[in-house]
Amino acid sequence: MPMYHPIFLFVSLRYLWNFQALKFKKIVIFLSIIGISISTCLMIVINSIMNGFQHHFEKNILSFIPHVIITNQKNNISESKFPKEILKIRNIKKISSFIREEAIVKSLKEITIGEVIGIDTSNYTDVSDYNIKNILFKLRSEKNYAIIGKALSKQLHVNIGDKINLVVPYNMTSNFLRQFSRKFHFEIKDIFVTHNDVDYYQIFINKKKATKLFHYKKNYITGWRLWLKNPLSLNVQEIKKLSNHLRVIDWREKKGELFLVIQIEKYIMLFLCILIFLVSSLNIIITVTTYCIEKQKTILILKSQGLSSWKTILIFVTIGFLISLIGNFLGTMTSIILIKQKFFLKYCMNILFSDINVPIIIQPLDVLFINSISILLTISSILYVVLKTVQSTPNNILLHEQ
């Protein structure tokens, strides 16, 4: 049996790779391919940089603060009131009870405000991200040991082995007793470094000592901390419905503005890339329109020979598709090379932002999505021109032929 050769593919390739064509047409095709390549490359690179920013935000900022806190209005609740219904939420990674209060931190030279957190010495997962060796063993001692952040230690001018004073008010209902405060001496057992805001204010002590320090009743805590598998897809309303009317605080109350800025920058840069792509699409429209006008007689001959309208449409759609495909391929390969070798992008980022080190993460699904949208927009942009050309019948063309 003879092999089937689609005529629309043969004709479209002939039009696209016609070496006898005018230089102007070749330049237009070349500019169309280059325009799509640049827009695709920019969209992939910018998307990868924004993914890096998002990953940096999620790993180095959100990993050191609870994504959700469940407590009551007094920040003092019995452990027996734990809302078990929230365990049904699939996005939850881990849950832990905690004791946390603010206190005045004094050293021999300085004074500041810190956040004292009681650490359960039987639960390592709460502090695993801090990379402190033997942290549970260090806090398990009967002595008053504390672990503070590097930035806080510099602010207080203290080091390992030095002592600090934690000054806290009585946590009682009497307004008279609220006026008094107690001072507790703690020895610095270790110093952690996270390169995060928590280095400036967090202080770890034994949970049992925190209970005595803040005058919590037996089996009473500040609340429960929730870490999510994907904190960026947090559904606060779902948690509030399952928390038995308790107070729900999510990470966006403190860090939401920073995340919003990252998202806005991402959308602005993608918008600029889309504008570049629209310019390149305009070049393709010009190219296809030129072919449609020039090849009207050829279309007349083909239609007279029995070529159907949809095959005529396929000829010009294939031309636009091939231009878009070549441009997307070149743009994708260029972006991957730039991302993999890193030096050029790092150099450009350091020119715009001094001392910045953000990972550039390329996602295959994002690359596939960008290429698919680019090709679909290119094809849709030329359909109108092609349809208008196909609607012209051989009789109308011959009628206006001089």
Lowest-confidence segment of 8-17, 26-35, 317-326 by average pLDDT: 8-17
Average pLDDT over residues 249-267: 74
- With pLDDT > 90 as the criterion, what percentage of the chain qualifies? 2
| Domain count for the chain | 2
Mean pLDDT of the chain: 78
Structural domain for 276, as ranges: 7-59+258-395
Question: Does 1 map to a domain?
Answer: no
Check whether 24 has a pLDDT greater than 60: yes
> What does the alpha-carbon distance between residue 264 and residue 245 come to, in Å, rounded to a whole number?
33
- Residue scoring higher pLDDT (55 or 349): 55
Both 124 and 245 in one domain: the answer is yes
3-state secondary structure the chain: CCCCCCHHHHHHHHHHCCCCCCHHHHHHHHHHHHHHHHHHHHHHHHHHHHHHHHHHHHHHCHHHCCCEEEECCCCCEEHHHCCHHHHHCCCEEEEEEEEEEEEEEECCCCEEEEEEEEECCCCHHHCHHHCCCCHHHHHCCCCCEEEEEHHHHHHHCCCCCCEEEEEEECCCCCHHHHCCEEEEEEEEEEEECCCCHHHHCEEEEEHHHHHHHCCCCCCEECEEEEEECCHHHCCHHHHHHCCCCCEEEECHHHHHHHHHHHHHHHHHHHHHHHHHHHHHHHHHHHHHHHHHHHCHHHHHHHHHCCCCHHHHHHHHHHHHHHHHHHHHHHHHHHHHHHHHHCHHHHHHHHHHCCCCCCCCCCCHHHHHHHHHHHHHHHHHHHHHHHHHHHCCCHHHHHHCCC
- Residue scoring higher pLDDT (389 or 146): 146
Both 323 and 303 in one domain: the answer is yes
Both 292 and 237 in one domain: the answer is no
Domain edge (last residue) among 203, 227, 250? 250
Question: Does 341 map to a domain?
Answer: yes
Both 14 and 75 in one domain: the answer is no
Domain edge (last residue) among 229, 250, 271? 250
Both 140 and 160 in one domain: the answer is yes
pLDDT score, position 18: 63
Q: How confident is the model at residue 353 (pLDDT cuts 50, 70, 90)?
A: low
Give me the half-sphere count of Cα atoms (radius 13 Å) on the Cβ side of residue 213. Answer: 29
- With pLDDT > 70 as the criterion, what percentage of the chain qualifies? 78
Both 37 and 94 in one domain: the answer is no
Q: How confident is the model at residue 278 (pLDDT cuts 50, 70, 90)?
A: confident
153 close to 188: Cβ distance less than 8 angstroms: yes
Check whether 19 has a pLDDT greater than 60: no
Q: How confident is the model at residue 291 (pLDDT cuts 50, 70, 90)?
A: low
Tokens of 251: 């990470």
pLDDT score, position 387: 76
Q: How confident is the model at residue 330 (pLDDT cuts 50, 70, 90)?
A: very high
Q: Strand pairing of 163-169 and 111-119?
A: unpaired
User: Which residue's entry shows tokens 């039987």?
Assistant: 122
pLDDT score, position 316: 76
pLDDT score, position 333: 93
Average pLDDT over residues 26-31: 76
pLDDT score, position 216: 85
Question: Does 275 map to a domain?
Answer: yes
Question: Does 149 map to a domain?
Answer: yes
- Residue scoring higher pLDDT (266 or 322): 322
Domain edge (last residue) among 222, 250, 278? 250
* Residue type present at position 154: K
Question: Does 21 map to a domain?
Answer: yes
Residue range 83-120, pLDDT digits in tens: 888 888 888 888 888 888 888 898 888 889 888 988 88
Check whether 174 has a pLDDT greater than 50: no
- Contacts of 301 by beta carbon, 8 Å cutoff, 6+ apart: none
Residue range 56-67, pLDDT digits in tens: 777 777 777 888
